[in-house]
Amino acid sequence: MKYDVVDALINPEGRLEVLSRVEVNRLLDTSQGGLYDLFRSCSLAVLNCGNALDDGKELLERYRSFGIRVIQTERGIKLELTGAPAHAFVDGVMIKGISEHLFAVLRDVVYVSDEIDGNPKFDLDSSDGVTNAVFHILRNARILRPMRNLNLVVCWGGHSITRQEYDYTKEAGYQMGLRGLDICTGCGPGAMKGPMKGATIGHAKQRINDGQYLGITEPGIIAAESPNPIVNDLVIMPDIEKRLEAFVRTGHGIVVFPGGAGTTEEILYLLGILLHPDNASIPFPLIFTGPESAKEYFKNIDRFITDTLGFEAQQRYRIIVNDPQRVAREMHAGIRQVRDFRKAHGDAYYFNWMLKIDEEFQRPFIPTHENMRSLVLSKDQERHALAANLRRAFSGVVAGNVKDEGIRAIEQHGHFEIHGDANIMDPMDALLSSFVDQHRMKLPGKEYVPCYRVIR
């Protein structure tokens, strides 16, 4: 099938106007892949905004001729695009929001490569070093707002949801927007777009003109979840672990809408952190919510958490069905408690330094077949350690479903094998099967072929 493409020369939109010659040369060096390939794939994903696709491999194959080149001029830089998706342009001019996202990609790719990777200032083998790196990437992107009150709600949920669920996310976002709350999501479609869209109306009614709609992504997932057009601050973190840490360090509370394996990965990440003894007294409002039709979905999630992580984990969240106003009210009240706690303990409003994040949640997990087989999935370990390994298992399923490298690995070597004790594997198999039955693994209309095999 042929897809419409265009060539263009793009000027920066106030995000990154200058690069050194060394930086430009590294971005132009296609001989050894690396930085150029990363920049190209993330840029293509941004340009694919608004096109329903959740397959990173398919996107790269659709636009094989796509190229992007940095041109250094007397007054700064420009981007030369060849074979770019035509839907990123209107009458030959790139849509402004997409242009901003494109230069955000350039900003973050260059910064991480030049200032984080290999820099002795950031000890990425230590927990504090990783957190320091996350902070600097976010600060460089200028998304931290130290002079603002606490008001950032992270919204998690799937890209493959029903229309009724999507409308519910919009209504919840609207109710939060009316209460002056900003929205942060994984920046993609579905439950990542709906809350932002609703919040824009709530903010407009309250005459809030500087609302933040923050999207946080990473190179492996961005092609499957291209940034939605409402995002006005986009950050590309180096990997999924730093992306997840960015969510919980910057957010003041989290709302979880219906989703699939990726949403479960996010839930397990946060619960694992909250279960750490050092975090027992730290308030962190966490609400699971959806319309009446999602009641069974949350019942399955709740059962899985109880069966694997126990009663204490269940106490760290609240399930609210079909009541978006209550969600907004309780999140607003929960954030007030967070503010009082941080004020009493001298913690920053814009970055949660006090939260203890164990290295098990920070170490990048590469979902190879060997690594997936080697996961320790038994209750013979501390609960936060089990949560870390469960998170990795679901991360592997996400990779096999939508990420370019994961899809290719499955094509070459077959299913990921997930081994563990029956009292862990049975609940996991039941939950994943429910996602398949409810069409939460792929976009509607696409047949899902499992990338995993659960082995007891």
Q: What is the pLDDT of residues 370-379, one digit of tens each?
A: 999 999 999 9
Q: What is the pLDDT of residues 278-289, one digit of tens each?
A: 999 999 999 999
Q: Tell me where in the chain the CATH 3.40.50.450 domain(s) lie.
A: 139-456
pLDDT the model gives residue 401: 86
Q: Average pLDDT, stretch 447-453? A: 86
Is pLDDT at 22 greater than 70 in this prediction?
no
Q: What integer pLDDT is reported at residue 444 of this predicted model?
A: 65
pLDDT at 1: 63
Residue 201 pLDDT level (bands cut at 50, 70, 90): very high
Where does the pLDDT of residue 389 fall: very low under 50, low under 70, confident under 90, or very high at 90 and above? very high
Mean pLDDT (whole number) for 73-100? 87
Residues spanned by CATH 3.30.1850.10 within the chain? 5-117
Q: What is the pLDDT of residues 401-434, one digit of tens each?
A: 888 788 889 999 999 999 999 999 999 999 999 9
> At the top level of CATH, which class does the domain 5-117 belong to?
alpha beta
Among 231, 259, 254, 267, residue whose Cα is nearest residue 45: 231
pLDDT over 70 (residue 18) = no
pLDDT digits (tens, 9 = 90+) for 289-302: 999 999 999 999 99
If one compares 2 and 436, the residue with the highest pLDDT of the two is: 436
Tens of pLDDT, residues 141-165 = 999 988 788 999 999 999 889 999 9
Q: What does the alpha-carbon distance between residue 185 and residue 97 come to, in Å, rounded to a whole number? A: 17
Distance CA 268, CA 390 (A): 7
Q: What is the pLDDT of residue 28?
A: 62
pLDDT of residue 114: 85
Q: What is the pTM of this model?
A: 0.91
Q: Is the pLDDT assigned to residue 107 strictly greater than 80? A: yes
Per-residue model confidence as pLDDT tens digits over 168-186:
999 999 999 999 999 999 9
Summarised one tens digit per residue, pLDDT across range 227-271 is 999 999 999 999 999 999 999 999 999 999 999 999 999 999 999
Q: Which CATH architecture has domain 139-456?
A: 3-Layer(aba) Sandwich (3.40)
* pLDDT tens string 33-67: 578 888 888 999 899 886 665 566 677 788 888 99
